[in-house]
Structure 1
């Protein structure tokens, strides 16, 4: 396999950048009040009610880097297996509008990330981490439609999310990926109209490489998900997510609530309670940095065979009286694209060996086959036939001796 550069930019399309938006406001105060009214026995005093409000907000924002902020003194009678169900029932209705200048319509869908409940745009894998997909015990591959692409002749292409209604974090990534906790995030306030311009660098793999093993090409296609535990497709980000899940399960005997706890085969993993969250907080640096010195985890994570990387070139914000809006797009189209091609196949190796042998030795691959036949197969057959004839002659002599004795 070899990675080469393609500079014929007018002959290929460029993937439009996908993103994941994580709103800062995730809990609806009205729903929280209604929940406490239905469960008055669990909240007898105003002090306990205030503690629960603080607890549920911190739980909705929980990630590996802020686990120390979660209050650990009261569970409020909520089992850890119901954390995600409760967060979903009490979540704030985040319903922005989506528009784009691309020829293909883009969709925004809810997804559960390592940062909590977020929303992904133009994602081919985000819906596999949705609450509805988990609860329906679904393992089928979803048809997400076409990959959104643009061409240099299309000019400047933008997409925008309107009426965000809250401050938010944004993670830019490819359509076949999810946001990762180690990637850079961009935070924007709720009163700005923000425009982000990105540049792209893509790599695609030749279809002939599908006949090679994963070890030979050092990458995986999306359908090669036989090692995945929680999703029916593969991506590098999903693999890292499961790797962290395996490590927390080994170290703390549980997994965070923002992971799918039902894996292939029907096994249900325990969800971390406050004690488990405290355990994860003590090893959060190892989890985030993927430096599992205390326990070795076999992740077997390879890069995506077809992948897009997006880098923020510029972004600008201005005060907008109609609420938070986000606009992003590509202005400078990439002038280079990486391609992973097959340099030598098995047939090419045979041709090159035959050509070199004919040039230097004056023989062909058929000559090597004849030599193998003469020194191995023919010699073995001759030895075997000689030994067989000796055994048969011995048997004849024994029969003659017995005959004359009689």
Structure 2
């Protein structure tokens, strides 16, 4: 700070950034630096541009801020109005964004019905509740023997074989029955799968008569053996094993390949211009004459009421042809000496092409090419869950259950590992539950088994009545005897010729989001897209042009 005097009097305290000329007989001359002159010009031009913008802006109330004659209280009023409008508009836009981000999909009914011949007839898996032929191994007798002795007699070779059978059979029967017993767990000579097949009732002992689309054939023409978590079962209308499983899977899953090429896939359906008689099988109309009839049988001498409980008969599962049956999750029963009629209603969900650009977590489903499975070529939620459980069990126990997908080198769990793989399944479900309710928890194994974007389920309406086999034979005056046979009859057919599909589609797309945001901005502030362009124009192009114009006018003067 500099002090200057004129005569004996102090004139002023002047900052040193100014240039000063002092004359003893004249006034003090103070000149501003060039940088400050430029700043004053910028502020002056910016103020002019601001006042010009306020006078011509399309945003409501802006003109009052640029009028110099307005009282400061009026300007403060409009500033507060702007602040509250922006806050309210921002909160509503945030709600719309959260809805667009978290729930962009809506499930609605399709505009037209779908005929039943556009989808395959349901795959049918039948599992007998009789798990062993008593002449091979009597589960009830051996069970009571264990209760008395507690320790198996290993010194008898025939007993060793029977204990080996019991070790395999215990994985199919109720698990709590044998968890306290000590059994032989040496299955090095024969796999558990081979033992289960050896002791189980044969195909001909179970499947007596089959008719499909009013055409009667040998059941072996329709049904194939399949190993499930319920042991040896028989499946109808499933895909060719080599079209269902990837290369490298254990040969146990390829032994009963039907060797029939498929003309259908889950996402695109049947190929165009193919014959009605294709595979997987389909029917051209609803009704019992177009459905599947199966006469099942079991023998009284093989019934075991301890292994699977007091309800004897068969477990049935309806699923689509590309899905691996898991009867521990869902099934319905066909009791012995009963006829069960199953009226099927398809439940199909498709996904619009407009959702392809969304992430799977946002649309909550996977398209066929988005989720790779190690063992399965076809992605379904059930197949994914089964593979995830197999991987988790292998990691926890060092082996997998006999029915789980695996490679040949993977060990199969024996009786001693039953507690481990049952606990692994419980732990996996518990972990998924925690991940579902607590998003921040660190997961050691993430399955990510969302539903497939195209899925088919078969809802069943069931009715049943008594099936008196002996009276039927008497009515036919049949001389053929079936000693000890306990039959049951199953009929499956579509209820209606058409059904209504449901479709996932966009609820809030980018266009809807922008339209809602524009509506709110227009409601609260009278703002449009051109309003933002106008603001950008005044703070850039208009300001620069005015500065240049002001500078050129100074130069000419």
Smaller-chain TM-score range? Answer: 0.5 to 0.7
- Output aligned runs, 1:195-344, within 5 Å: 195-226=341-372, 228-262=373-407, 268-282=409-423, 285-286=426-427, 296-321=444-469, 323-332=487-496, 336-342=500-506
Query: For residue 44 of structure 1, what is the aligned residue in structure 2?
Result: 156
Q: Is the 8 A contact 1:193 1:325 kept in 2?
A: yes
1:39-78 aligned at under 5 Å gives the runs 44-59=156-171, 61=172, 66=175, 69=178, 72-75=181-184, 77-78=186-187
Deviating beyond 6 angstroms after TM superposition, the runs of 4 or more aligned structure 1 residues are: 29-33, 292-295, 353-359
The structure 2 residue matched to 1:87, chosen from 196, 203, 220, is: 196
- Distance in 1, matches of 2:137 and 2:190, equals 19
SS of structure 2 residue aligned to 1:243: helix
Separation in 2 of the partners of 1:334 and 1:289? 40
Q: Give the conservation status (yes or no) of the 8 Å contact 2:343–2:492.
A: yes
Summarize deviations over 1:84-126 as a string: whole Å, max 9, x none: 24434555431535432299x9943333322223222223487
Cα separation, 2, equivalents of 1:70 and 1:80: 24
Distance in 1 of aligned mates of 2:190 and 2:527: 71
**What are structure 1's unaligned runs of at least 5 residues?**
34-41, 380-406
Residues 142 and 296 (structure 1 numbering): CA distance in 2 closer, same or farther, change over 3 Å?
Answer: farther
Give the structure 2 partner of residue 100 of structure 1.
Answer: 212
Matched, 1:3 2:107: yes
Q: TM-score, normalised by structure 1?
A: 0.67
Q: Are 1:361 and 2:528 an aligned pair?
A: yes
Structure 2: where are the runs of 5+ without partners? 1-104, 139-153, 265-279, 300-312, 435-441, 474-486, 545-557
- Cα offset for 1:327? 0.8
Q: Report Cα offsets for 1:340-395 as digits up to 9, x if no partner.
A: 1245666x579969998999536499x69xx69x979xx9xxxxxxxxxxxxxxxx
Q: Choose from 148, 151, 160 the match for 2:293.
A: 160
